Amino acid sequence: MKNKYIILLTTIYNSINYCQNIIYGFFSIILASTFFPSENLSLSILGSLSAFSAGFLTNPFGGLIFGYFGDRYGRKSTIILSIALTSLPTFCIGTLPSYEEIGIASSLILIFCRLLQGFSVGGQAYTSVVFVVEHSWQGRENLSCSLLAASSLVGAILGTGVGALCTLEMMPSWAWRIPFVLSGLFGLVSYFIMKNVEETQDHKAVQQSDSLKQRPIVEVIKCHLNNFMCVIGISGATLIPFYIISIFMIGYIFSSNFDFSPAAIMLTTTFFMLIWVVLLPIMGYLSDNVGEIVVMRIASISMFLFAFPLSWIAQVSTSIPLTLLALGLLCAIAAAYVAPSGTLMTKLFPVAVRCSGISVASGIGSALFGGTAPLIGALLFERTGMVSFSALYIMLGSLLGYIGLKKANFSIKQDKISSEYSPFLPSNDLKITLNKQGYMLTNLHEYSQAFVDFSPAAPGPVLDIGAAYGVASIPALQAGAHVIANDMDIRHLKILEQNAPESSLKRLELRAGRIPGEVSFSENSLGAVLASGVLHFLPGDEMIDAIDQIFKWLKPGGKFFFASSTPYANLYHDFMPLYLERKKSGQRWPGIIENTGIYAPNIAHEIPEFVNLVDLDLIESILLNSGFTIEKISFFNISKIANDINSEGNGVLGAIARK
């Protein structure tokens, strides 16, 4: 499944999940009278908001448990587990008897449901961030992460939209329960969505290399404590403005200043959610082009300077447009900080401990600052009688966010696959592949060099099949090409990515999987294809199929660069009599060896058992039958590589074919 579809499905799931979590805050006034009855409305609201805050208190514990599972067993399985633990309490709130029916038990059950929600969200929310960032295409991580954040608000809009309908005067008093029940049932939809997406390649690579940590949070505290503390502040700064403005400020201002009904307040809240949905992707796109650190620093400084003046304008204004403008500007500043925050936080921890680091630290930030925001806003209002004083808490959050950015260490070295997998070993002309699929040359031969030379002027992206450690992909990147590096083993591709120039990463795309079969491209989409030392491991029919597909993938004027060992290589000297006999008898594939250990016992453990060695006339025929025009085809020698491959100038075969 392509990354863009995985991100799309994840945003759909996230919308449903966030709808479940956020509707409590939007229904806090109604829930106050239902489960925390009091003659003093303010005390009832404080009780309801306290239950709302209680959900955030379990976030760190959820982050600890689910972060562990995310790092040890995968991001996908962790998200699926959290779906059940979020949907069930949401459904229960919708069906919970009121205080009048079962007394204090209703209040306690409500708080328990919020605790369970918070426990699950603490593990799911930031695991989803890691999941999306790791699936994102190079150079668009902030946009992807901002789309995830926007999808959360789409879920909130769904909840508030239904909520607005359910609070209309014509609706029965119990209609507020409908969003909770529906959101709980939608958890089943979330399950089926996430069941069909793939695990991230980053986690697969760490898993394959045995680099997983037994106690990831201990590793975080021991080696990355500074960044852990910074993420607490950064996460708090992302949540405080949202909850102060959306959960507290809008309700108070529009009910007291303009006498809005609950339904009108819901619609007003929905309007501001739409502002966030529009602004977040814009800020994410901006961050990809300017840099997330720059955007977040400007946003935190702006929020510190303008939070109080804008809140005061919203409080004293008797004009609805002016109030909307003041609060809208606050939302815009906050969105600039929120949009790239997920991507930035993932960069502060290595892959093997990323879920634990982000989930626990952000859970603490949520518990200390985010979940308490509406409650503190209400307390400040109770003490001062002025809604604008809640902006002091927003200013505190922006200060914490700025300090977190200032103190964070962005030079964290990501997990190397393993020291034994260094892309520079062995220190000769051949390098063993990790999956024992033969060797990779450490230097370009004349046909791979021709691929590199052609790649900047190719009529489209260039594909390197079996790229391994990037002997051709990296020079093509350095030449300015957009490179799609393919290999069956994701570990090779991660090594390639780690060693590619940082300035070229936006032009690098990694595609793990087998060709033909697991990886495919649209017709007329590629500018050049290199298959060096790869296709001779395929059976005859699959080799033809692969070359036919390459022809379809190439744009007109695109070129296919081919290189392969031949039966004449010294390595297969003992096979030569059988090969010549087969060829003389007219066999279509005379170079097939089904047990390479018979002819190359010394290296049998480092190469596949099956090999299909090809001769010049055979490859020439296949290329022509596929529709190619052959520009060059020849045997060639590689003077610096092992004598096992070299022969009398015909141990290696190369071809350049044009569509």
Distance CA 144, CA 34 (A): 40
**What number is the average pLDDT over the span 356-379?**
80
The pLDDT tens digits for 218-264 are: 888 988 899 999 999 998 899 888 888 876 788 778 888 888 887 78
The pLDDT tens digits for 134-148 are: 887 666 788 988 998
Contact partners, residue 105, CB within 8 Å, separation at least 6: none
pLDDT band at 97 (very low <50, low <70, confident <90, very high): confident
Distance CA 535, CA 376 (A): 65
pLDDT band at 648 (very low <50, low <70, confident <90, very high): low
- Residue ranges of the domains in the chain? 3-407, 419-658
**Nearest CA to 653 among 629, 640, 637?**
637
Distance CA 183, CA 429 (A): 60
pLDDT band at 292 (very low <50, low <70, confident <90, very high): confident
**Nearest CA to 485 among 506, 505, 466, 460?**
466
Q: Which residues pair with 632 in a beta bridge?
A: 656
The predicted pLDDT at position 492 comes to 79
CATH assignment of 3-407, given 3.40.50.10470, 1.20.1250.20, 3.40.50.10210, 2.60.40.420? 1.20.1250.20
- Report phi then psi at 471, rounded to 5: -60, -30
Higher pLDDT, 421 or 6: 6
CB atoms within 10 A of CB 624: 12
The pLDDT tens digits for 5-19 are: 778 878 887 787 777
The predicted pLDDT at position 641 comes to 45
The predicted pLDDT at position 613 comes to 86
pLDDT band at 330 (very low <50, low <70, confident <90, very high): very high
Of the segments 113-122, 141-150, 566-575, which one has the largest average pLDDT value?
141-150
pLDDT band at 421 (very low <50, low <70, confident <90, very high): very low
SS3 assignment, position 633: strand
CB atoms within 10 A of CB 175: 16
CB 393, CB 380: distance < 8 Å: yes
pLDDT higher than threshold 50 for residue 100: yes
pLDDT higher than threshold 80 for residue 1: no
CB 509, CB 484: distance < 8 Å: yes
**Nearest CA to 231 among 62, 362, 400, 60?**
362
Using alpha carbons, list the distances in angstroms from residue 363 to 343, 345, 358, 436: 17, 13, 8, 43
pLDDT higher than threshold 50 for residue 645: no
CB atoms within 10 A of CB 243: 28
* DSSP, res 572: G
Distance CA 414, CA 405 (A): 19
The predicted pLDDT at position 611 comes to 82
Domain boundaries 419-658, corresponding CATH code: 3.40.50.150
- Flag the least confident range among 86-90, 411-415, 441-445, 593-597: 411-415
Distance CA 521, CA 56 (A): 45
SS3 assignment, position 507: helix
Q: Whole-model pTM?
A: 0.60
The pLDDT tens digits for 558-572 are: 999 998 888 887 777
Distance CA 297, CA 338 (A): 11
- Flag the least confident range among 27-41, 458-472, 487-501: 27-41
The predicted pLDDT at position 132 comes to 87
The predicted pLDDT at position 552 comes to 93
| Tokens matching residue 485 | 């590096």
| Angle at 199 (CA atoms; ends 196, 202), nearest 5 degrees | 160
Using alpha carbons, list the distances in angstroms from residue 193 to 76, 136, 158, 355: 11, 18, 18, 21
> With pLDDT > 90 as the criterion, what percentage of the chain qualifies?
20
Contact partners, residue 347, CB within 8 Å, separation at least 6: 410, 412
Tell me whether the omega of the peptide bond preceding residue 516 falls within 30 degrees of 0, making it cis. yes
Which secondary structure element, helix H or strand E, spans residue 3, and what is its range?
Answer: helix 3-26
CB 271, CB 157: distance < 8 Å: no
Sheet holding 629-636, edge to edge: 508-512, 483-487, 462-465, 526-532, 554-565, 652-658, 629-636
| Tokens matching residue 563 | 């290189």
The predicted pLDDT at position 80 comes to 84
CB 370, CB 240: distance < 8 Å: yes
The predicted pLDDT at position 201 comes to 72
Residue with tokens 């300090």: 403
pLDDT higher than threshold 90 for residue 302: yes
Distance CA 238, CA 276 (A): 13
Taken in order 114, 117, 123, 124, the sign of the CA dihedral is negative
The predicted pLDDT at position 646 comes to 46
* DSSP, res 436: S
CB 215, CB 353: distance < 8 Å: no
pLDDT band at 418 (very low <50, low <70, confident <90, very high): very low
- Flag the least confident range among 200-204, 305-309, 437-441: 437-441
pLDDT band at 411 (very low <50, low <70, confident <90, very high): low
The predicted pLDDT at position 422 comes to 37
Using alpha carbons, list the distances in angstroms from residue 587 to 567, 578, 579, 580: 14, 11, 10, 10
The predicted pLDDT at position 45 comes to 52
pLDDT band at 463 (very low <50, low <70, confident <90, very high): very high
Residue with tokens 């015909």: 650
The pLDDT tens digits for 174-212 are: 777 777 787 777 777 777 777 777 788 777 767 765 556
SS3 assignment, position 656: strand
Distance CA 295, CA 142 (A): 11
**End-to-end alpha-carbon separation of the chain, Å?**
28
Secondary structure string (H, E, C) spanning 95-122: HCCCHHHHCHHHHHHHHHHHHHHHHHHH
Of the segments 159-173, 486-500, 593-607, 643-657, which one has the largest average pLDDT value?
486-500
